A and B are shown apart, each in its own frame.
Chain A
Amino acid sequence: MAATRKHMEELTQQAESGDAGGQYLTFMLAGEEYGVEILKVQEIKGWGTATPIPNTPDYVLGVLNLRGAVVPIIDLRKRFSLDSVPYGATTVVIVVKMSHEDQERTVGLVVDAVADVYRLESGEIQAPPDMGGAVHTEFVRGLATVEEKMVILLEVDCLIDFKNMHSSPSRSPDADKAQVEAIPEE
């Protein structure tokens, strides 16, 4: 019990200090192994058909019902401009929490298969090499070598663009409020 708590504290500290060390969940994508910080992972679920959202980038497959919440689903192959393959038996959705401008969102990532969980010290993680813009290095937190394989560690928060596409009057409750308040009070 005490050990577990200590472990949790370490993990939390690492997460807070921005230290890249910690536990990573890894998954396969087009033959490469990628890792995401395990503290960001909410759950792993099987693939189910999403409802497409019109006028979004093609890597946004749509939205899914996750126990009453409407959650966007991203195809990571498409996000990384990799060739698409038909979804198979091992295709899973890794549900992660993304932090963006103080808002935490839940997003599903479609990957080929879940691989493993590793514990990595920050010393084992190298900064991503500059590849001259050929690869989306902004998603990459660093590289690590585990059992002589390369694991690409992802910066989860950067995987999706949450910026609202338009500034026309919206129907969101917050925007409603702002507009109602725009009427001068007596």
Chain B
Amino acid sequence: MSVDVNMAEIAQLFVEESLEGLDTMESGLLNLDLGAADPETMNAIFRAAHSIKGGGATFGFTEISEFAHHVETLLDEMRRGERPVTRDAVDLLLQSVDCIRDMTGSLATGSVDTARAKELEVQLETMLRQKPGVGAAACGSGHAAGEAAATTDEARVADEADEAGAGWRIRFRPGPGIFKSRNDPLRMFRELEALGALDVKAVGAEDLDFESLDPEECRLGWDLVLHASADRETVEEVFAWVADECELELEPIPGIAADDGPASEKPPAQAESLPAAAKPAAAAAKGTAFSQETGSIRVNIDKVDALINLVGELVITQSMLSRYTGDFDFTQIEGLREGLTQLSRNTRELQESVMAIRMLPISFAFSRFPRLVRDTGNALGKKVELKLTGENTELDKTVLEKIGDPLVHLVRNSLDHGLETPEERVAAGKPETGVLELNAYHEGGNIVIEVIDDGAGIDKGKVLAKARERGLVAADEQLSDDRVNNLIFMAGFSTAEEISDLSGRGVGMDVVRRNIADLGGHVSVQSECGVGSKFTIRLPLTLAILDGQLVRVGKESYIVSLVSIVETIQVCADKVNQIAGESELFKLRDEYLPILRLHELFGIQADSARIDDGLLVVAEANGQRVGIFVDDLKEQQQVVIKSLEANYRQMRGISGATILGDGTVALILDVPGLIQLYCDRNGGVPHHTAAVA
């Protein structure tokens, strides 16, 4: 294992940790009560900034550590109560958090853009110079002290050239308590010896009274002569740890050995060698490409313990079952059956536990919203209260990473189009402050995420008019309220009268729907005019496992994701209409749905030729409902998704494959892909048409 690799890994850890720290800072800053900051929160924010600064410096990311230093200083004043927590300060700190996050993120590219940091640094410095409302005096004096110290240092540096000569006479009189802090004069002498020849003379030994001697106290002093061309600083450094509890006098021995060269040359060289030593680490760290989306995952130790326990149980079951591998007779069948039941339980639990390792709380996705809602609300001049519930609801890491953007879009949409301005709200008899809720909970094998606002709701008249104008709905078509609301997810639909800065990014709700569909999920909206809207996202907990329904067509079995199935029905032939002898439609309550005959699309043999011999699986994808005609339904089961592409290629209408209990492969149907395939074959877009009453 090479040093570089290790350093790079550790530096990567720093990146991950910093991003976490930045999240802590951000949520902490957002939760601060202006004027009366909670000390705990303040400390946590400060610590995060402090760690980023320290880590940044350690790993050689000086751009970050230098900038974080200013942030830390401001936070330090705030946490000490020397500076009030003002809105301006919090805003500046939040911007700084963003800036550090950008810089941290761009470590991957190797080039960090410091322009923004420089800008903010000026603002931070300006703020730091301004006299804070509280404890101004303390702050001022601090600065003065710092300057004074600097002056002394300079004076000393100036002296050195004259002073450093053949060596030093050192008078060292440690305090009696020096041993208590485990400081050993011998160690210091050894250090001095490393600089040059050292003569040591102990003083005060003659006064020692051995009767009353406390061996833990230091009663001796030393006079030392160091023959070395070390500068004062280097020598003092040796005693630095005990400077507060000793008398130390240094007297230079005049330079005799002039041919040693200018004595002052050595110290700078030595001083330089120290930071240089840190460079390999930094260089190694920088040389590696970082990515924020790391392949690693942090797992709670409880989850690992649970896994270990389960494996233990599995081992027990296995040993129990192995008893039956020898001479087996039928009296043992009951025991065998019991063992197999236990094995299947172990397996299921093990599967669940392993999946749980990939599960993370949705709070990771929710955490960005307090900030986003605050900023967006401010920009729009709207007052918004954000309520988060079910933040601990867990879902698969991959799903979690991918749901962020669609959620942001929905929240923006609610802020932009849903919630009204304070004036409008008051006029409508509502409280001035609007409420935006984000809920998450588990339901069956799914996670449900709701985005609820108490805003104006969807204007159905407007939506319908726009849909007709865009040709998405026929002029005379009658749609249920629910259908109208969900029209906003159709491609090419946008209700925004004018493209606003916030949600008019050329991305419509159709993209939100498609992204959620790509995760195997589904989004819908319920809305009441004047009362508000509720967007409901339903997602599978994981992408690796799917709750499937096995369907049979002829000799083949396929799997349909349960999430996409609305219902399964049997239709009478007289409920089916044929359009131009091609597309078949059937009437389901108030709408006509196209029938996809799977055997025709796939070119295989089916048992049922007549529509009433088989079943129609009503499935929905991208807001489009269709009836998939199959021979029969078989069992429902969880299946592990395998890629077809790994060894072959993508296939239309098929999203992957799985291996069934008997070892055979079954294909998983891709409902949106099937609909597309059907459209291409039938040369048109099947759209549900309202039944004429």
- Whether both chains belong to one complex is answered with yes
Question: A-side interface residues toward B, CB under 8 Å?
Answer: 49-56, 60, 62-65, 68-72, 105-107, 160-166, 168-173, 175-177, 179-180, 182-186
* Category for how many chain B residues contact A: 35 or more
On whether the beta carbons of A182 and B646 are closer than 8 Å, the reply is: no
Question: Contacting A179 at CB < 8 Å: which of B518, B604, B657?
Answer: B518
Q: Nearest Cβ distance between residue A51 and chain B, in whole angstroms? A: 4
Find the B residue at minimum CB distance from A183: B405
Assembly CA distance A162 to B648 (angstroms): 6
Assembly CA distance A180 to B515 (angstroms): 6
A182 in contact with B511 given A63-B657, A70-B659, A176-B518 (CB within 8 Å): yes
Question: Contacting A183 at CB < 8 Å: which of B398, B507, B644, B645?
Answer: B507
Assembly CA distance A105 to B398 (angstroms): 25
Task: Say yes or no for B43: interface residue by CB 8 A criterion.
Answer: no
Ordered nearest first, which 10 A-B pairs have the shortest CB separation? A54-B602, A171-B655, A51-B665, A72-B648, A176-B518, A105-B647, A183-B405, A70-B657, A164-B650, A70-B642
A51 in contact with B666 given A63-B657, A179-B515 (CB within 8 Å): yes
Find the B residue at minimum CB distance from A166: B652
On whether the beta carbons of A51 and B514 are closer than 8 Å, the reply is: no
Q: Nearest Cβ distance between residue A85 and chain B, in whole angstroms? A: 22
**With a CB–CB cut-off of 8 A, which chain B residues contact A51?**
556, 657, 664-667
Question: Contacting A106 at CB < 8 Å: which of B408, B519, B647, B670?
Answer: B647
Question: Contacting A53 at CB < 8 Å: which of B398, B505, B514, B651?
Answer: B651
Assembly CA distance A145 to B573 (angstroms): 65
On whether the beta carbons of A53 and B654 are closer than 8 Å, the reply is: yes
Task: Say yes or no for B673: interface residue by CB 8 A criterion.
Answer: yes
Q: With A56-B651, A171-B518, A183-B409 given, can you name 5 additional A-B contacts, CB distance below 8 Å?
A: A51-B657, A55-B652, A69-B647, A165-B650, A171-B656
On whether the beta carbons of B604 and A171 are closer than 8 Å, the reply is: no
Assembly CA distance A166 to B636 (angstroms): 30
- B673-693 contact mask (Cβ, 8 Å, vs A): 1 or 0: 100100000000000000000
On whether the beta carbons of B651 and A55 are closer than 8 Å, the reply is: yes
On whether the beta carbons of A165 and B651 are closer than 8 Å, the reply is: yes
Assembly CA distance A70 to B655 (angstroms): 13
On whether the beta carbons of A107 and B667 are closer than 8 Å, the reply is: no
- A selection of 30 A-B contacts at a CB cut-off of 8 Å is A51-B666, A53-B651, A53-B654, A53-B667, A54-B654, A54-B667, A63-B665, A65-B665, A69-B642, A69-B646, A70-B644, A70-B647, A105-B646, A105-B648, A162-B648, A164-B645, A164-B649, A168-B652, A168-B673, A168-B676, A169-B514, A169-B673, A171-B673, A176-B518, A179-B514, A179-B515, A180-B402, A183-B511, A185-B405, A186-B408
Residue of A49, A50, A180 ringed by the most chain B CB atoms within 10 A: A180
Question: Contacting A54 at CB < 8 Å: which of B406, B650, B653, B655?
Answer: B653
Q: Nearest Cβ distance between residue B540 and chain A, in whole angstroms? A: 13
Find the A residue at minimum CB distance from B670: A171
Assembly CA distance A183 to B643 (angstroms): 25
Question: Contacting B604 at CB < 8 Å: which of A52, A164, A165?
Answer: A52
A172 in contact with B657 given A63-B665, A180-B405 (CB within 8 Å): no
Assembly CA distance A171 to B622 (angstroms): 13
- B540-582 contact mask (Cβ, 8 Å, vs A): 1 or 0: 0001000000000000100000000000000000000000000
A173 in contact with B657 given A70-B642, A166-B652 (CB within 8 Å): no
Question: B-side interface residues toward A, CB under 8 Å?
Answer: 372, 398, 402, 405-406, 408-409, 505-507, 511, 514-515, 518-519, 543, 556, 601-604, 642-657, 659, 663-667, 670, 672-673, 676
Residue of B372, B603, B642, B665 ringed by the most chain A CB atoms within 10 A: B665
**With a CB–CB cut-off of 8 A, which chain B residues contact A175?**
518, 650
Assembly CA distance A181 to B398 (angstroms): 13
Q: Nearest Cβ distance between residue B29 and chain A, in whole angstroms? A: 18
**With a CB–CB cut-off of 8 A, which chain B residues contact A170?**
650, 673
Find the B residue at minimum CB distance from A64: B665
Assembly CA distance A49 to B662 (angstroms): 12
Find the B residue at minimum CB distance from A100: B649
**With a CB–CB cut-off of 8 A, which chain A residues contact B398?**
173
On whether the beta carbons of A54 and B603 are closer than 8 Å, the reply is: yes
Find the A residue at minimum CB distance from B655: A171
Assembly CA distance A164 to B643 (angstroms): 14
Assembly CA distance A25 to B651 (angstroms): 32
**With a CB–CB cut-off of 8 A, which chain B residues contact A180?**
402, 405-406, 515, 518
On whether the beta carbons of A184 and B654 are closer than 8 Å, the reply is: no
**With a CB–CB cut-off of 8 A, which chain A residues contact B659?**
65, 68, 70
**With a CB–CB cut-off of 8 A, which chain A residues contact B676?**
168
Assembly CA distance A184 to B405 (angstroms): 9
On whether the beta carbons of B648 and A63 are closer than 8 Å, the reply is: yes
Assembly CA distance A182 to B405 (angstroms): 10
A165 in contact with B602 given A65-B664, A70-B657, A171-B518 (CB within 8 Å): no
**With a CB–CB cut-off of 8 A, which chain B residues contact A56?**
651
Find the A residue at minimum CB distance from B555: A52
Find the A residue at minimum CB distance from B556: A52
**With a CB–CB cut-off of 8 A, which chain B residues contact A162?**
648-649
Assembly CA distance A185 to B372 (angstroms): 12
A63 in contact with B406 given A53-B654, A168-B673 (CB within 8 Å): no
Assembly CA distance A64 to B406 (angstroms): 37
Q: Nearest Cβ distance between residue B534 and chain A, in whole angstroms? A: 22
Question: Contacting A186 at CB < 8 Å: which of B372, B643, B649, B651?
Answer: B372
On whether the beta carbons of B543 and A173 are closer than 8 Å, the reply is: yes
**With a CB–CB cut-off of 8 A, which chain B residues contact A165?**
649-652
Assembly CA distance A48 to B133 (angstroms): 83
**With a CB–CB cut-off of 8 A, which chain A residues contact B642?**
68-70
**With a CB–CB cut-off of 8 A, which chain A residues contact B406?**
180, 183
**With a CB–CB cut-off of 8 A, which chain A residues contact B514?**
169, 179
**With a CB–CB cut-off of 8 A, which chain A residues contact B653?**
54-55
Q: Nearest Cβ distance between residue A164 and chain B, in whole angstroms? A: 5
**With a CB–CB cut-off of 8 A, which chain A residues contact B670?**
171
On whether the beta carbons of B672 and A70 are closer than 8 Å, the reply is: no
Question: Contacting A70 at CB < 8 Å: which of B507, B519, B665, B673?
Answer: B665
**With a CB–CB cut-off of 8 A, which chain B residues contact A163?**
649
On whether the beta carbons of B652 and A65 are closer than 8 Å, the reply is: no
Assembly CA distance A23 to B222 (angstroms): 83
On whether the beta carbons of A70 and B402 are closer than 8 Å, the reply is: no
Assembly CA distance A125 to B239 (angstroms): 82
Assembly CA distance A107 to B666 (angstroms): 17
Q: Nearest Cβ distance between residue B101 and chain A, in whole angstroms? A: 12
**With a CB–CB cut-off of 8 A, which chain A residues contact B651?**
53-56, 165
On whether the beta carbons of A72 and B408 are closer than 8 Å, the reply is: no
Find the B residue at minimum CB distance from A182: B511
**With a CB–CB cut-off of 8 A, which chain A residues contact B402?**
176-177, 180
**With a CB–CB cut-off of 8 A, which chain A residues contact B673?**
168-171
Assembly CA distance A64 to B663 (angstroms): 9
On whether the beta carbons of B646 and A65 are closer than 8 Å, the reply is: no
**With a CB–CB cut-off of 8 A, which chain A residues contact B604?**
52, 54
Residue of B649, B652, B657, B676 ringed by the most chain A CB atoms within 10 A: B649
Find the B residue at minimum CB distance from A53: B651
Find the B residue at minimum CB distance from A176: B518
**With a CB–CB cut-off of 8 A, which chain A residues contact B672?**
169, 171
**With a CB–CB cut-off of 8 A, which chain B residues contact A161?**
649
Q: Nearest Cβ distance between residue A73 and chain B, in whole angstroms? A: 10
Q: Nearest Cβ distance between residue B539 and chain A, in whole angstroms? A: 13
Question: Contacting B602 at CB < 8 Å: which of A55, A164, A166?
Answer: A55
